[in-house]
Amino acid sequence: MSIETVRLSKRNVTRLFVGAIIAVGAGLVFGFAALWSALASDAIDIGGSHVVDVNGGSGAWTALALVIVGLLLVLGGTVAAVVSWVAALLNTWQLEDKTWFGSLFAFGVLGFGVIAMIAYVVAGPDGMNQTVPRQAIAGAART
């Protein structure tokens, strides 16, 4: 299996990255909804003789369900963001100029992958729109 068979266009990488951001955002909303639900139903009491008091009941189960859904959304969004980063790396590897590849790789490894991906989505090139594929250039140089 070669790199060419798993490449995604910049458009698809952008869609995947935006979907990842939406999923993480929705997961955070579900997390806040779980906290609100737990506080509103007195499943969690703050203050009193104990700093935090946890009570059972239907409100606690609702909050737990919301937390689980939120965590799954954040996990799925995180996986999608990493896959979009790897796809962007594969896409920019096809370019002759390796500046975008190096920048995406370095920022991603250093923990600033979201910033690098936002820059790529806004201004990055598409390696699939290259006029002459790299393999054709390498093959022509050998002959």
Task: Give residue 126's pLDDT.
Answer: 87
Residue 141 pLDDT > 60, yes or no?
A: no
Rg (CA), the chain: 22
Tens-digit pLDDT profile for residues 2-17: 555 556 789 999 999 9
Q: For the segment 93-136, what is each residue's pLDDT rounded down to a tens digit?
A: 988 999 999 999 999 999 999 999 999 999 999 888 765 555 55
CB-hemisphere CA count at 13 Å for 11?
A: 2
Alpha-carbon distance 15 to 56, whole Å? 41
Which residues, at least 6 apart from 6, have a Cβ–Cβ distance to it below 8 Å?
90
Output the pLDDT for position 138.
Answer: 53
Count H helices and E strands in the chain, helices first.
5, 2
Region 76-103 average pLDDT? 94
Mind giving me the DSSP string for 45-97? EESTTSSEEE--SHHHHHHHHHHHHHHHHHHHHHHHHHHHHHHHHHHHHTSSS
State residue 65's pLDDT score: 94
- The whole model's pTM is what? 0.78
